Chains A and B, each alone.
Chain A
Amino acid sequence: MYMRSLWPSTALPDPGALIRDLERVIDAVSRNTRMDSWGTTFPPVNVSRDGERYYLRAVLPGIQPDKLKVSVERNKVTIAGEREVQPDSSARGKQDGERSYHRQERTEGAFSRTLTLDTVFDAEGVTASYRDGILTVALPLTNAAKARLVPVQAS
């Protein structure tokens, strides 16, 4: 009791707590910079179009296809999912017991990104495929959005 009054908590903050706070900040900052190795938003996306479709390609290495979700609504496309780093899922790795990391640069976690395109597309005809760590979503243009050659009539 007497000891506690000698060391009021307001005057002397717990140095351990300070260090822990600092560690948390450093950790958050370094995690963010690692997350940013591809850019500011995850996943990075390329969008292009030809006369028939929009193509959205998202760079998403190492994802189980069943963990990927693509949804469309009017002129919006959302890609969401979860990435697991999977250190070593093989039975052999487990048998070997303890493992230690020399480098840990790859990131994991849930992500979601919505892109709004400048025209409505045909939601029924949207297809998605995943290959070599790239998710490709093909969004067919509606007939109204397709370029059309208008015949000019001479009178």
Chain B
Amino acid sequence: MTKTKELQVQNEEKRDVASAEQTRPGPVYRPPVDICEDAGGFTVLADLPGVRPENLHVDLREGTLTIRGHCEALHGEKEHPILREFESGTYFRQFALTDAVEQGQIDAKLVNGVLRLRLPKIEAAKPRRIRVNST
């Protein structure tokens, strides 16, 4: 049982990378993300080092949130490389959103190479405390 589950996850990851493969040369990275939920909505944080705001595309289509960012070459043209541990490339990741997200009000910020998305919940999905009357 656990084995099939693992396999599914792997397949999904492969598909992610495959669908990002086009247009630009260079590796496709699957950036690490944190997703946390609170009563008001979801917060997604993704590490996208080297990506400038103009090279980042966050889009929402048919309930799928896509994060795609491109990192330009870090070094100048006249420099000779001596050590290269990081290669610039594309960051790609996709997530299926629940209906509980207010899709028109997603807020995105890119600060110091970290993308922060705020996905507010629709009113109906927010937890509500129901007052109990004693009489």
B7 within 8 A of A: no
Q: Which of A45, A63, A97, A107 is within 8 Å of B86, CB to CB? A: A45
In whole angstroms, how far apart are the Cα atoms of A2 and B43 in the complex?
A: 56
B84 within 8 A of A: yes
A96 within 8 A of B: yes
B62 within 8 A of A: no
Most buried by A among B52, B81, B86: B86
Given A59-B49, A134-B74, residue A48 in contact with residue B38 (CB < 8 A): no
A14 within 8 A of B: no
Q: Which of A49, A62, A86 is within 8 Å of B82, CB to CB? A: A49
Which of A3-11, A16-24, A36-44, A120-128 binds B? Answer: A36-44
Within 8 A of B (CB), among A47-83: 47-51, 54-55, 57, 59-63
Q: Which of B32, B43, B75, B112 is within 8 Å of A46, CB to CB? A: B75
Q: Which of B48, B76, B83, B114 is within 8 Å of A47, CB to CB? A: B83
Of the four ranges (under 10, 10 to 19, 20 to 34, 35 or more), the interface on chain A belongs to 35 or more
A41 to chain B, nearest CB (A): 8
A27 within 8 A of B: no
A102 within 8 A of B: yes
Task: Determine whether the beta carbon of A132 is less than 8 Å from that of B34.
Answer: no
CB closest chain-B residue, reference A63: B112
B36 to chain A, nearest CB (A): 5
In whole angstroms, how far apart are the Cα atoms of A96 and B84 in the complex?
A: 44
Within 8 A of A (CB), among B84-114: 84-86, 111-114
Task: Determine whether the beta carbon of B43 is less than 8 Å from that of A133.
Answer: no
B33 to chain A, nearest CB (A): 6
Report A's interface with B, CB cutoff 8 A.
Answer: 34, 37-39, 41, 44-51, 54-55, 57, 59-63, 85-88, 92-93, 96-107, 115, 130, 132-134, 136
Q: List 14 A-B contacts (CB under 8 A).
A: A44-B86, A45-B83, A46-B86, A48-B75, A61-B113, A88-B36, A93-B43, A100-B37, A103-B33, A103-B34, A106-B32, A132-B49, A133-B48, A134-B49
